[in-house]
Every structure is written in structure tokens, then in C-alpha cells.
Amino acid sequence: MTSLLAPTLREDPAEAETASHRLMLRAGLMRRLAAGIYSYLPLGQRAIAKVEAIVRQEMDRQGCQEVRLPLVQPEELWVESGRSAKYGEELWRLKDRHGRPFVLAPTHEEVVTDLVRREVSSWRQMPLILYHVTNKYRDEPRPRAGVMRAREFVMKDAYSLDRDRDGLSASYAKMREAYARFCTRCGLDWRVVEADPGAIGGHDTVEFVALAGEGEAEIVYCERCGYAANVERAEGGRPAAGAEAEAAEDAGGAAAGPVRLHTPGVRTIDELCAFAGVPASRTSKILFYWAEHAEGRCELVAALVRGDRQLNEIKLGNAVGARRLAMAGREEVLALTGAPVGSAGPVGLRGARLLTDLEVAHGGGFAIGANQEDWHLLGAKAGRDFDPGEVADLRLVGAGDPCPRCASPLGAARGIEVGHMFALGAVYSQTMGALYRDDQGGSHPIEMGCYGIGVTRTLAAVIERHHDRDGIIWPFAVAPYHVAVVPVAAGDDGTREAAEGLYADLRAAGVEAVLDDRDERPGVKFKDADLLGWPLRVTVGRALRDGAVELRRRADGKTEMVALGAVVATIRERVAAGLGETAP
RNA sequence: CGGGGUGUGGCCCAGCUUGGUUAGGGCGCCUGGUUCGGGACCAGGAGGUCGGCAGUUCAAAUCUGCCCACCCCGACCA
């Protein structure tokens, strides 16, 4: 280790807060060059190489073919696909010396589509899955938590090319299998969840989320039926049948109408509940947004959700087909409804496109704003008292909500999105003209899928999952080295020679080992060994008198004495067993 | 982009409110010595545009303005 560039830090760097970020800096895996841009030092690079190797093995197992695609791409390809505008500022743009516009690759759908429209023209050439592992560039508005959200990062991206929807489904299933194996082999505690297709388009999409308290992704899951989804996507559904009947009763039957209630000063749902004596689940709130469409056209939309629910803006955006949403100002609401924000409601609403959440549309007996300052309506029911407009699932689903499949209460968790896959279909091949001939001579767009794994982010996820107060606890599968040989009493020739001999034997036996030959006191070496997280540590010291060394496991601190003659064999066994621990 | 915060030797920080000689401490680094099983001790030493520019002042790390960088929260995010 005297010659190994692994500069450990005794104290936590001020710039890092999350565990993985802190430890990647402290353990000398990487150093920051600029916001969201890092240099990887030898140990970081080795860990990355381990993750990459696992990815490659799993890709190759499914018959994927590795390629290497350019990181610098002509912007015109992105104009052609329509994503130059869609990506906006996040697309990292640059110009060559002639002033021609280029972009740094945030992903490679355009390049792959361009490649295959030139090279794949027959049904005989498919199915085909291409992948590569390279840097990606996204000029994030806010890079954060080290490599968790970086501007330059390593990603494995794959693209499947198929003749038809069935072929795409088969490729998608293969990749799903590969991703599951990958996550398990890296030692992650993970879930696969349904996700929102977002701007990339396509039909089917799932995320592979490594569970971690520090993660950015919020997911809900059902222990009973296995349903799991990103909260962005999780379906709200209609209220249970019993609740619907109850609600109808609350509304006072089909013939009755809502009751007007004077509510001076009532502005919020909480105040309304207190004033009118109704639970928040028996209220409904209306939210106004400006929806910006692809052509730049803006439209005012109103969303009606239950008072105790949160609006899921992604769902609303999808429902209205907007590129972006921005909440409307108070004055605009006043001008439109004739009532201030706290008294606005859906009854007689004009001038805005109204969308009503399933729960409100199928429920009844809601307290709502009366579109008149200081007045509310009690017992209002969609369809009878107001036109619900478009009915859609608009609410944010959370812990305790009923599972949309089996109605059991959902659990919630946070995690890190390490993988994401999309069944794109023909969205790119259609717009960019990637067509092939079938066996009848007919022309069809290629059915595509795209699949990404954040390699550097996976590393962060592994550390989030495997660390303690003292440092990293590498799973064998991604550890930069499997074992550290630590001689104590460096001044003693016998100790040093024994350690060096053991180290040489281990290397000769193919064991990934390091030798801590630094002229440091034992405490320093032990602390660094814990920080660096070697799965195994061999202490060569006082046990040498009995012809033995100590073999210690980082994961649980268990130590055993091993006779010198048996050390190499024992370590090989332990490494093999350790690698087997995360085998799928 | 909005809000908050930070910027002082490689790392962690003090000093700034109330301007005043050579800008401090701990860790790390170099030299010598003593130590040597959980971040040793002693002695000596190197290393600084106090983020940058401009201003106020006899005098600026310290006050003012502008700018830059970085971190956190939010918006955003295939």
C-alpha cells in the first residue's frame, strides 16, 4: 500500500452528507473536480470495474452484444428525434471549431436508431440487443450526494431491436432477468417497481430500486400481492365499493342537493374541517395549473382531489398531455372563479379544463368551495352538482393507501434508482425512419426497448447498503480487493518477511490482495482497513509465535486463528464463499 | 431558477460581530529521535493570492458592492 494511491481522510469531508458520498471521499475512492464531476482513484476505479464486469457478464448471458458509441453527437440527431427541445438545458451542448452544434451524450437512443436504420434492414437481423458502458453527461440543475446524481457518470445502456411487439416483450423479459441478477450479485436489497414513462415515451417501464433511506426515489409496495410502484406512478384507483355507497348516503341521496354554508375567513382545508365539522376525507380541493404543451401553447387546468390527498403533478401532466406544469397565481384564480383560492370550487367552473380524481368522481358528499368568497357547499356530488370534466387518477399514493390490485394497505420506502427499462415500441424508429422488411417484403418500424444501469450510482447504492460507523463493508463481488495483509510491528524482520511471503503466495494463488506495508502503527492500519472495507483482513503479528495469523471478517468482526501453512487455502475458500453469498 | 449556507496551507476548523505589527490551532506532509495490537510522543521544518475583482480607510481575512465556486432544501430530473 505504500505505492497505492488511496488517500484516506481521518475526518469527514465538509462537502459530503450522505454516507456513500462521505465514504467514497474518505476512503479515497474518488475526488471532486467540479460539481457532479469526479476523478476516480485506483480503488474507486477497481470497484467500478467490478460492477462493470458483473453487468457485462449478465448482458452477455442474455446474448447481448457490446459496442462502443460516441459520447459526442451531432445535435441534429436530437433535433430530428425532437428531444433537443424536450431535454432543454440538461442537454450539454458544445460547438466544434466550425460552429457546428454537438451535444455530450446523456443517453444513446438517437445514435442507436441512426445506426440501425442504416445497418438493419431485414427481419433476419433481429432480434438484436446492443449495449455499451460509457460516461454519460447530463447538465443537472442540481447535482447532489456525490455520484448519486452527478453530471458525468458511468452508465450501461442497452437497446433491443425486434420485429414486433412479441419480440420486444421477449427482449424486455430477458433484460428484466439480467437486471434482477445484476442487483442481487451487487449485494443490493432491491425491488422492481412500475414507473412513469415520462418524456421518453413508450408503453411499459420499470425501475430497479435499491432500498436506502437516503435514496431519492419513493416507492410503495404491497406485501400481499407483490404490487410495487414508484409513487410517481402508483395507481390511486377508485374508493372501495362500500365507501362509495357510504359516500352516496352522505350526499343525501340522489334527489338532494348540496347545502350552502357561510364560512367567513375559512381558507384552508384544516379550517374548513374545523368550521364545518367534517373530516378532511369528506372535503375536496381544487388546484389550478398552467399547462405548457409541446408546441408552447398554454392552457389553464383545474384539478380536483380529496382534501386529505396530495395531487400527483406527474399524473396531472400526463393526463393533460403537458410538457410542464406551473401553479396558477392567486389573482388568476380569483379572476377565473370570482372567488379567492380558499373558496374556489368546481361548480359552474368555466375557462379552465377540469379534471377530477377518481376518488372524488366516484365519491360523494364533499365539502367544496362555492366559488363565492366565504361560502362553501356541503354534500356536493360529482355528476349531480357539478360536471366533473375529465375523470382521471390524479392523487399521490402513499403508505397505508389501499393496493390498487388487492386493496391491502401499501407500504412505503425510499431507494436509489439503479436501473430503468422502457419498452419503447416504435417511437424512435418511427420518427427517425428505422424500418425493416418482413418476410413478405412489407416495411415496418423496428420495435425498440432501452435499458439503463447507473454503474457509478450502483456503487453508491452498494455503500449505502453496506457500511457502518467505521467505514465501508464491501460485498466480495464489488470489493476492490478481497483481502488485506496487515503486518503489525513493522520493525520486526520476521513479521515483515512473513507478511510479504503470505502476500506473494496469495497473489500467486490468484487472490486479490493488498499488503499494508506502510510504516504506520497498528491502530492506523486497522482503522484504514475498516474504512476501506476489505472483506477480509489478515493480521500478521503476535500469533506468528505459534506459527499462525489472524483472519478477520469485516462484515461481522469475527476473527479466527489460521496456521501459516493453511492461510492461502483458507482465504481462497472464504473468498469463494463470499462471492457465493450474493450469487443469484 | 427560488430559499439557506460556506469559501482561511492537502484535510477539519478558529479568527470576522467591535478593521490595527510577522494570520492561528488540530490532522496530514518532511527531518531526527523514542515508540509499536485499534487513528502515539518529543524536537525541528516546509507549505497561504484569507475564492476573485473593485471600493471605503492611514490600515481590510475582518466593512461595502459586484462576480465566481461549492454544499444543503425546493423546483427540475428517461
Average pLDDT per block of 10 residues along chain A, 584 residues long: 90 90 94 92 96 97 96 93 85 90 94 94 95 94 91 96 95 96 95 76 82 85 84 71 55 62 78 78 80 72 80 78 73 72 74 79 78 78 76 79 82 90 92 93 94 95 94 97 89 86 97 94 95 97 92 96 96 96 89
**How many helices and strands in chain A, by DSSP H and E?**
16, 31
- pLDDT in the model for residue A38: 93
CATH topology of A241-390 equal to that of A472-581? no
Distance A428 CA to B23 C1' (A): 62
Instruction: Indicate if CB(A140) is under 7 A from strand B.
Output: yes
Of A542, A438, A529, the closest CA to residue A488 belongs to A542
The angle formed by the CA atoms of residues A393, A413 and A170, to the nearest 5 degrees, is 70
Distance A399 CA to B43 C1' (A): 64
Residues 151-170 of A with CB under 7 A from strand B: 157
* Domain range summary for chain A, segments of one domain joined by +: 45-70+105-234+412-463, 241-390, 472-581
Phi, psi at A103, each rounded to 5°: -130, 155
Distance A156 CA to B78 C1' (A): 14
Q: Where are the beta strands (DSSP E) in A237-344?
A: 259-262, 284-292, 298-306, 324-327
Instruction: Indicate if CB(A199) is under 7 A from strand B.
Output: yes
Instruction: Indicate if CB(A470) is under 7 A from strand B.
Output: yes
Q: Where are the beta strands (DSSP E) in A234-374?
A: 259-262, 284-292, 298-306, 324-327, 353-357, 366-369
- pLDDT in the model for residue A499: 94
Instruction: Indicate if CB(A230) is under 7 A from strand B.
Output: no
Q: Following DSSP, what letter does each residue of A89-153 receive, concatenated?
A: GGSEEEE-TT--EEEE-S--HHHHHHHHHHH--BGGG-SEEEEEEEEEE---SS-BTTTTB-SEE
Instruction: Indicate if CB(A542) is under 7 A from strand B.
Output: yes
- pLDDT in the model for residue A528: 95
Residues 274-313 of A with CB under 7 A from strand B: 313
- pLDDT in the model for residue A61: 96
**A472-483: b (≥16 Cβ within 10 Å) or e:** bbbbbbbbbbbb
Q: Is the peptide bond before A127 cis (omega within 30 degrees of 0)?
A: yes
- pLDDT in the model for residue A306: 83
- pLDDT in the model for residue A254: 46
A241-390 is classed in which CATH architecture?
Alpha-Beta Complex (3.90)
Distance A14 CA to B19 C1' (A): 29
Output A332-339 pairs: Cβ under 8 A, ≥24 positions apart: A332/A288, A332/A300, A333/A288, A336/A288, A336/A300, A337/A369, A337/A371, A338/A371, A338/A372, A339/A369, A339/A370, A339/A371, A339/A372, A339/A373
Instruction: Indicate if CB(A543) is under 7 A from strand B.
Output: yes
Instruction: Indicate if CB(A14) is under 7 A from strand B.
Output: yes
Distance A57 CA to B12 C1' (A): 42
The angle formed by the CA atoms of residues A352, A357 and A360, to the nearest 5 degrees, is 105
Instruction: Indicate if CB(A36) is under 7 A from strand B.
Output: yes
Phi, psi at A74, each rounded to 5°: -65, 135
- Coil, strand, or helix at residue A225? coil
Cell of A480: 476492490
Chain B nucleotides close to protein (CB under 7 A) are 1-2, 6, 11-13, 26-28, 35-40, 69-78
Distance A155 CA to B58 C1' (A): 61
Residues 100-129 of A with CB under 7 A from strand B: 106-107
CATH superfamily of A472-581: Anticodon-binding domain (3.40.50.800)
Cell of A556: 461481522
Nearest-CA residue relative to C1' of B70: A35
Distance A26 CA to B23 C1' (A): 28
Distance A13 CA to B60 C1' (A): 30
Instruction: Indicate if CB(A521) is under 7 A from strand B.
Output: yes
Q: What is the CATH number of domain A45-70+105-234+412-463?
A: 3.30.930.10
